[in-house]
Amino acid sequence: MGRLDGKVTVITGGASGIGAATVRLFVQEGARVVIADLQGARGERLARDLGDDAVFFHADVSREADVRGAMALAVERFGRLDCVFNNAGYGGVTGLIEETPVDGFDETIGVLLRGVLLGMKHAAPIMKRQGAGSIISTASIAGLRAGYAPHVYSAAKAAVIHLTRSLAMELGESGVRVNCICPGGIATPIFGKALGLSPEQADETVDVMKVVLAGIQPIKRAGQPDDIAQAALWLASEESSFVNGHALVVDGGLTGGRAWEEGQTLRARLRSLLGSDPS
């Protein structure tokens, strides 16, 4: 018995990175999945690998017709919609605030916030009729703490977190749960793509990012796409049936506070400067 037996899910950004890991895990746990993504070749290949339990749908999440179509396909092909994982995203516009172009702002918000809202909007009526469902969105620790990502990305993720809480108050009354996940440093191609690399070139940066990200949190390894997929699995399953309006942080302790080792170093320096134990 799988933890998602009989459940039907739409996963946006499902062709690579966190999305692809989640698609594979959900199918392994018994779900049938609509993979919604702009990356046609990758999405089609993943769907073929998974057989009849997965289907690819070409979608730009900033376009309402595409998001509506992904939800409709889930119902048409598999008969219902139990979970939506609004995961599609990218790094978005970067730079100093005075250098931020308005069209870059609009495009970034279109994917990272509008895309999430559209997923929620078009999942809600289906799930309300069923009297059950789980809506999950990928937020970020950048939506909780400043300094981890570009300005617009951070603002969009903060908005996703609060939109999650707000919608949870509405849909919870209909038996539909709304939660989000706040990843920390996860080694995916998103970092390479942010540098303007092609998808294939960005894939090659993942091993480098594993090394770069390994030392930034108390757990001394980079986060993996499967770490987020496992969190999404829990939120999609009945195991989290009393969890609603929650922002689940999966960051290896990165946002927990000052690193213990750093604190010990500071304490030793104070001893040296004061000539005694400062306690």
Q: Tell me the C-alpha distance between 68 and 76, whole Å.
A: 12
Strand partners, 179: 136
Start-end of H helices in the chain: 17-28, 40-50, 64-78, 102-109, 115-130, 151-171, 190-194, 199-203, 206-213, 225-236, 260-274
Active site residue 148: no
Helix-strand-coil split of the chain, %, nearest 5: 55, 15, 35
Asked if residue 166 lies in contact with residue 113, where contact means CB atoms within 8 angstroms, the answer is no
Catalytic residue among 148, 153, 235, 251: 153
Both tokens of 232, joined, read 């999404």
The interaxial angle of helices 151-171 and 115-130, nearest 10 deg, is 10
Phi, psi of 180, rounded to the nearest 5 degrees: -140, 165
Catalytic residue IDs: 153
